[in-house]
């Protein structure tokens, strides 16, 4: 049986370490403070008895649990990231423990009247009677993805302590900077040496994902003309007004807040504007590659049409691919999904197989030669003050890891 209190304490230790990443940094890791947790993870892996533990010059941590059977079993891996999102502060995280949750409102911060309510976050009601770990309302929690880190480390510790559970060689990896899209950029797939792996980075218990968005960024720049307002008649061209016209021309129903499932979108996430120059930053997403390419074409053609139409203002756009749907790379090794699904069912967990409406390190790793579907880590409401994770979900994810390695061995016995 898993040591519930030890795993809880491990998770609380992790989330109290500020590992916020920085998209404006050119270093890896993007923030020096990520090293603190990276080094702690490496120390823990050595302490629990893993072999070949390493931490490279970019803070990527790896370790090996050697096989304890004589027959050949594919080497598999488990991966998570230890940075947290720059969308919301991770400084001075002060987690709260709500035991035997009663299904009612949770007061995160009485002074600021910050309440985590099932009236708004309905998923809370799935966890009545369980132990919830929440924020204090002033920071994010960091369950994305320190829950995943905790689950992998805890599973490896359990397997070391229970050699009666037979398994092949298991690799574990921990990355910086996933939250800014760089988690896999310097991951050494050859050194890792697994035939396939799983990222422990999903949300709700039971999630099992091997499809994700194709993704691109689009930066639209509008150039106007700045003139003193007192002499602006017929001369000033306010780029912000033209930016508004452009925004209104994209399909209004194709935004994140109005789509679901496999539906793609255009998402305007940043506007930086002055009279002379306005920059609109979009992300473009679609699961279907043909529709994804069509969306990029639509954006390009719309910019060109605006540029032709207006003589006194110029429009240009830079579109960059970010990552692609991992499904193409996972389909040839679908047995890795079958094993994970069987592991969950054996533990009385209902698998929730659905597409990721976002990205994951697993997507990039899959295209780097390491097929890498995604498994739940248990957290909810990531990247903000309402983030929480049930302790029972962390324990269940830890058990799923142990069961996957056991079933993989049995499949090849």
Which residues are part of the catalytic machinery?
Answer: 83, 178
Question: Which residues are bridge partners to 221 per DSSP?
Answer: 279, 316
Q: Which residues contact 73 (CB under 8 A, 6 or more apart)?
A: 67, 167, 168, 169, 408, 409, 412
Question: Which residues are bridge partners to 5 per DSSP?
Answer: none
Q: What secondary structure, in 3-state letters, does 165-217 show?
A: CCCCCEEEEEECCHHHCCCCCCCCHHHHCCCEEEEEEECCCCEEECCECEEEE
Number of neighbours of residue 138 by Cβ within 10 angstroms: 17
Q: Which residues contact 76 (CB under 8 A, 6 or more apart)?
A: 168, 170, 171, 194, 195, 196, 197, 198, 336, 404, 405, 408
Residue 145: is the preceding peptide bond cis (ω within 30°)?
yes
Q: How many Å apart are CA 286 and CA 259, to the nearest integer?
A: 11
């Amino acid at each position: 049986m898993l040591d519930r209190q030890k795993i809880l304490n491990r998770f609380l230790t992790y989330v109290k370490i500020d590992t916020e990443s920085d998209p404006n940094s050119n270093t890896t890791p993007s923030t020096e403070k990520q090293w603190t947790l990276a080094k702690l993870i490496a120390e823990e892996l050595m302490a629990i008895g893993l072999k070949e533990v390493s931490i490279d010059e970019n803070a990527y941590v790896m370790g090996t649990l050697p096989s304890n059977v004589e027959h050949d079993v594919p080497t598999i891996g488990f991966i998570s990231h230890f940075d947290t999102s720059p969308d919301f502060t991770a400084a001075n995280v002060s987690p709260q423990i709500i035991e035997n949750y009663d299904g009612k409102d949770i007061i995160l911060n009485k002074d600021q009247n910050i309440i985590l309510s099932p009236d708004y976050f309905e998923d809370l009601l799935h966890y009545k009677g369980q132990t919830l770990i929440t924020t204090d309302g002033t920071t994010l929690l960091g369950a994305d993805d320190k829950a995943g880190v905790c689950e992998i480390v805890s599973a490896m510790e359990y397997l070391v302590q229970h050699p009666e559970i037979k398994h092949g060689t298991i690799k574990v990896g921990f990355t910086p900077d996933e939250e800014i899209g760089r988690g896999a950029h310097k991951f050494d797939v050859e050194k890792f040496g697994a035939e396939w792996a799983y990222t422990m980075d999903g949300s709700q218990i039971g999630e099992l994902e091997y499809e994700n968005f194709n993704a691109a960024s689009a930066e639209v720049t509008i150039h106007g003309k700045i003139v003193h307002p007192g002499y602006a008649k017929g001369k000033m061209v306010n780029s912000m007004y033209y930016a508004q016209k452009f925004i209104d021309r994209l399909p209004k129903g194709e935004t994140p807040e109005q789509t679901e499932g496999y539906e793609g979108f255009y998402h305007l996430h940043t506007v930086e504007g002055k009279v002379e120059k306005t920059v609109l930053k979009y992300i473009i997403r679609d699961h279907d590659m043909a529709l994804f390419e069509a969306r990029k074409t639509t954006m390009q053609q719309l910019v060109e049409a605006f540029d032709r139409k207006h003589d006194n203002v110029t429009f240009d756009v830079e579109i960059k691919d970010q990552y692609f749907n991992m499904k193409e790379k996972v389909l040839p090794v679908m047995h890795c999904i079958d094993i994970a699904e069987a592991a969950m069912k054996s533990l009385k967990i209902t698998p929730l197989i659905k597409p990721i409406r976002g990205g994951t390190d697993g997507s990039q790793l899959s295209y780097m030669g390491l097929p890498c579907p995604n498994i739940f880590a248990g957290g909810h409401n990531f990247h903000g003050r309402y983030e929480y994770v049930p302790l029972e979900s962390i324990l269940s994810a830890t058990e799923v890891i142990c069961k996957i390695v056991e079933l993989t061995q049995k499949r090849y016995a």
